[in-house]
């Protein structure tokens, strides 16, 4: 599978991101809990240059909880805490504010020791497209939105949102780019929906997903699509899925495109179960 995708405005996005990073004390790095590695920007460590970081495994409702627990342990390091959340339902969100305050403690103490006036901790959210940045921000600041007004240094139109008494969040998230030179990573981004559908080969993607499910979670296919057996060939497997849903065109032929779209959608929506595609190193 050869997926080539790169936002045209990348240089501008990166410049803006670097400018905004200078304004914050802590960075919230949003990752997709199903693909914590593949949804990570390849040069994130250079970009953040040792800024304290809260790693948020978002969409944890769609990931395998056992793997999420292992990932949380593996990703934690000095200066970086890890939490998992569901930004749609809000679970895990309560832990965010205390974690950000804790991560900023050192910076704030330094300011105090220098005799500077104490101020609110400032943070911003960064992540690749579709990882859930907007949902996360909205859930975090729900009903508490008090724009604090433009401050020097913030690009016009951007605002600080007061999240808690001593915590402010930049309302515009930083968009990062994923790793695109690795086709395995590209596949995982595509199958989880991080890459827009117009740049994908739906057929190839669904074939690969169908075979992966057949080999690793056969019972899921058997039960969800009420199949009595699982054909070995991807095309036949997809036809069986389509037939079970009545996706027939004239002459009793199965509409495989419709079946492909359905399989991908149900996988992305979590209707087939909770799956983690990037396995932790310990596995
Ligand atoms: N199941 C689930 N879906 C989520 C979660 N967070 C976000 N989503 C879904 O992911 C999709 C993308 O969410 P956004 O918040 O728009 O993502 P974004 O990172 O702001 O996207 P860009 O604007 O493209 O950079 C939406 O369809 C959300 O419904 C989550 O925790 N669980």
Mean pLDDT of 240-258: 94
**58 in a known ligand binding site:** yes
Mutate to test the pocket of ligand 1, among 17, 91, 127, 134 (most ligand atoms within 8 A of CB): 134
Residue where the block lists tokens 């990073």: 21
**59 in a known ligand binding site:** yes
In angstroms, what is the span from residue 264 Cα to ligand 1's centroid?
Answer: 16
**Segment 190-203, tens digit of pLDDT:** 999 988 666 678 99
ipTM: 0.98
**Segment 77-117, tens digit of pLDDT:** 999 999 999 999 999 999 999 999 999 988 888 888 888 77
- Which of the four pLDDT bands, split at 50, 70 and 90, describes residue 155? low
CATH match of 10-175 with 3.30.365.10: no
From CA 1, how far away is CA 110, in angstroms rounded?
A: 50
Ligand 1 atom having least distance to the Cα of 135: 15
* Lowest pLDDT segment from 13-27, 137-151, 157-171, 257-271: 137-151
In angstroms, what is the span from residue 88 Cα to ligand 1's centroid?
Answer: 8
CB of 174 within 8 A of CB of 126?
Answer: yes
CATH number, span 201-268: 1.10.1580.10
Mutate to test the pocket of ligand 1, among 7, 31, 62, 130 (most ligand atoms within 8 A of CB): 130
Mutate to test the pocket of ligand 1, among 5, 135, 265 (most ligand atoms within 8 A of CB): 135
In angstroms, what is the span from residue 32 Cα to ligand 1's centroid?
Answer: 10
**61 in a known ligand binding site:** yes
* CB-based pocket (< 6 A), ligand 1: 58-59, 61-62, 86-88, 127, 129-135, 175
**174 in a known ligand binding site:** yes
pLDDT computed for residue 150 by the predictor? 47
Mean pLDDT of 219-227: 97
In angstroms, what is the span from residue 58 Cα to ligand 1's centroid?
Answer: 9
CB of 140 within 8 A of CB of 171?
Answer: no
In angstroms, what is the span from residue 86 Cα to ligand 1's centroid?
Answer: 10
Give me the residue spans of the domains in the chain: 10-175, 201-268
From CA 59, how far away is CA 97, in angstroms rounded?
A: 18
**86 in a known ligand binding site:** yes
From CA 238, how far away is CA 259, in angstroms rounded?
A: 6
pLDDT computed for residue 158 by the predictor? 75
In angstroms, what is the span from residue 26 Cα to ligand 1's centroid?
Answer: 22
């Amino acid at each position: 599978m050869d997926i080539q995708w790169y936002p045209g405005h990348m240089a501008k996005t990166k410049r803006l991101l670097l400018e905004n990073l200078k304004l914050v004390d802590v960075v919230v790095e949003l990752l997709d809990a199903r693909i914590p590695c593949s949804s990570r920007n390849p040069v994130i460590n250079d970009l953040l240059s040792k800024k304290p970081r809260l790693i948020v495994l978002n969409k944890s409702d769609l990931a395998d909880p056992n793997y999420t627990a292992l990932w949380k342990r593996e990703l934690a390091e000095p200066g970086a805490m890890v939490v998992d959340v569901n930004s749609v339902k809000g679970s895990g969100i309560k832990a965010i504010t205390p974690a950000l305050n804790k991560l900023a403690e050192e910076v704030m103490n330094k300011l105090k020791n220098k005799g500077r006036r104490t101020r609110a901790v400032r943070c911003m959210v960064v992540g690749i497209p579709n990882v859930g940045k907007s949902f996360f921000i909205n859930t975090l600041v729900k009903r508490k939105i008090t724009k604090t007004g433009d401050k020097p240094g913030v690009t016009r139109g951007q605002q600080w949102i007061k999240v808690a008494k001593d915590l402010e969040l930049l309302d515009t998230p930083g968009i990062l780019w994923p790793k695109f030179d690795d086709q395995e990573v590209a596949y995982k981004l595509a199958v989880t929906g991080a890459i827009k559908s117009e740049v994908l080969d739906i057929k190839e993607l669904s074939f690969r997903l169908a075979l992966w499910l057949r080999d690793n979670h056969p019972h899921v296919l058997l039960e969800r699509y009420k199949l009595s057996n699982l054909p070995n060939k991807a095309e036949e497997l997809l036809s069986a899925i389509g037939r079970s849903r009545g996706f027939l065109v004239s002459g009793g032929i199965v509409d495989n495109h419709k079946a492909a779209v359905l399989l991908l959608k149900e996988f992305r929506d979590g209707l087939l179960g909770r799956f983690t595609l990037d396995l932790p190193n310990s596995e």
